[in-house]
Copies of this chain bind each other. A is one copy, B any other.
Amino acid sequence: MNYSSKILEEAIEAFSALPSVGKKSALRMVLHLAQDKNFKKEKIITSLQSIINDLKVCQNCFSYSDTELCNICSNPLRKKDQICVVESIKDVIAIEETQSFSGTYHVLGGVVSPLEGIGPDDIRVHELVKRVSETKPDELIMALSPTIDGETTIFYISKLLANFEISISTIARGVAFGGEISYADEITLGRSISSRQPYSQKASF
Contacts and interface: CB of A to CB of B under 8 A. Distances in A.
Given A3-B71, A48-B44, A51-B11, A64 B34 contact: yes
Interface in A1-35: 1-8, 10-11, 13-15, 17-21, 25, 27-34
B1 A97 contact: yes
Q: How many copies does the complex hold?
A: 2
Contacts of A166: none
Interface residues of A, number: 61
A72 B4 contact: yes
**Main secondary structure on chain A at its contact with chain B?**
helix
A45 B48 contact: yes
Contacts of A15: 44, 47
Interface string A23-67: 001011111111000101111111111111011001001011110
Given A29-B18, A32-B18, A10 B50 contact: yes
30 contacts: A1-B96, A2-B71, A4-B58, A4-B61, A4-B64, A4-B70, A5-B55, A5-B64, A5-B65, A6-B66, A6-B71, A7-B55, A7-B66, A8-B55, A8-B64, A10-B47, A11-B51, A13-B43, A13-B47, A14-B40, A14-B46, A17-B40, A18-B32, A18-B33, A19-B28, A19-B29, A19-B32, A21-B29, A30-B47, A42-B52
Interface of A: 1-8, 10-11, 13-15, 17-21, 25, 27-34, 38, 40-52, 54-55, 58, 61, 63-66, 70-73, 89-90, 92-93, 96-97, 99, 105
